[in-house]
Amino acid sequence: MRAVVIGGSGQIGGWLLRVLTERGHEAVGTYSTVPFDGLVPLDASHLAESANWLRAQAADVVFYPAGFTWVDGCERDPARARSANVEQPLNLARAAAETGARFISFSTDYVFDGKAGPYAETDAPNPLSVYGRAKHEAERALGDAALTLRTTWVYGPERQGKNFAYQLARALREKGELACPSDQFSTPSYGPDVARAAVLLAERKVKGIVHVAGPEFLGRVEFARALAEAFGLDPGGIVGRRTAELGQGAPRPLRGGLRTPRLDALGPEFRMRPLADCLADFRVQLAEPGDWVRPLFAK
Ligand SMILES: NC(=O)c1ccc[n+]([C@@H]2O[C@H](COP(=O)([O-])OP(=O)(O)OC[C@H]3O[C@@H](n4cnc5c(N)ncnc54)[C@H](OP(=O)(O)O)[C@@H]3O)[C@@H](O)[C@H]2O)c1
């Protein structure tokens, strides 16, 4: 396959590029504001220019792990949230379709209201936040012509060091404590496994909505403790607080998370590894950071 990854500088995008290359595919990745070697600059908000660029790539498949991913930022700037998470991917999905390329976008369990998670693909969305509503709108607009992969609480080694595991490690090292919501539950998903599943799904030309998430349903505090222990940090500084006390900008689905019946039905190759195996892999990757992995405490 010839693949384009819009957002190759991001967490999932970086892993997509790595997995695609390892599996013998040709892959071109883009960045918007954070350049890495080998990536091409592309700002999806420049609609005509980015569509022209994409058409010229003559790709078989376009992955779109991009957009405005800061949930509280979306709540403060709904216009930007809709533009980045609906209009821009739709613009590039249309450009992809014009050259016969398949389009793969990434959505979230925040399309659900969190009353009864973890959720299957057949459960009815009811987003609580601006971010969740934009993602749900994009899912519906892309429809069954595209593959929309929903995931949640993505963690693991990455090049920008933004995900929760890095935030936790830095907070524990620098401040000795981190307040975590005690009433938010989900299914933490290991970035390298999410990317691997996405590439396998692309190879099989799967379309529609597919949940890709880790197998355990657990609370944020329990997840934070598991990460701290994996990194050899004192989990004693992890403090549980109710979401209502934390003043997060956007409402969160409290019992969120994703079940993965469609993925599981595709066979053992698609299995998402358990948390303990992923944490062991995370430690191995951190021991040899290299180009793809930022050390936990790098500034
Ligand atoms: N992380 C999670 O826990 C999680 C959970 C559920 C769903 N998702 C979804 O999965 C996808 C990937 O998430 P992630 O955590 O990998 O995100 P991320 O690390 O924040 O990466 C986002 C990527 O989008 C790029 N980007 C931002 N604005 C852009 C623009 N105007 N034009 C082109 N590219 C732009 C960024 O480029 P620069 O960094 O170079 O600016 C970056 O490469 C997103 O759609 C997100 O909503 C993530």
C-alpha 153 – ligand 1 centre gap (Å): 13
Label the pairing between strands 102-108 and 147-151: parallel
d(CA 170, CA 295): 11
Which protein residue's CA is at the shortest distance from atom 5 of ligand 1? 152
**Residues contacting residue 290 through CB under 8 Å, at least 6 positions apart:** none
Q: Which of 60, 39, 54 is nearest to 202 (CA)?
A: 60
- Whose alpha carbon is nearest atom 27 of ligand 1? 67
- The answer to whether the beta carbons of residues 10 and 64 sit under 8 Å apart is no
Please say whether the beta carbons of 264 and 136 come within 8 A: no
Cis ω before 118 (30° cut-off from 0):
yes
Which residues line ligand 1 at a C-beta cut-off of 6 Å? Answer: 6-7, 9-13, 31-34, 42-45, 65-67, 69, 84, 106, 108, 151-154, 162
Q: Which CATH class is domain 2-161+188-216+257-273?
A: alpha beta
* Extents of the domains making up the chain: 2-161+188-216+257-273
Question: Does the pLDDT of residue 74 top 80, yes or no?
Answer: yes
Q: Which residue in this structure is represented by tokens 């994409």?
A: 54
List b or e across 181-208, with b for residues whose CB sees 16 or more CB atoms inside 10 angstroms.
bbbbbbbbbbbbbbbbbbbbbbeeebbe
CA atoms of 146 and 94, how far apart (whole Å): 11
283-295: pLDDT as tens digits: 999 998 788 899 9
What is the tens place of the pLDDT at every residue in 188-243?
999 999 999 999 999 999 999 999 999 999 999 999 999 999 999 999 999 999 99
Considering 64, 131, 166, 190, which one is annotated as catalytic?
131
Chain segment 231-264, per-residue pLDDT in tens: 999 999 999 999 999 988 999 999 999 999 999 9
Please write the tens of the pLDDT for every residue from 92-126: 999 999 999 999 999 999 999 999 999 999 999 99
For residue 189, give the ligand 1 atom closest to its CA. Answer: 3
pTM: 0.97
Report how far ligand 1's centroid is from the alpha carbon of 7 (Å). 6
Q: Is 110 a catalytic residue?
A: no
Please report the atom of ligand 1 found closest to the CA of residue 107: 7
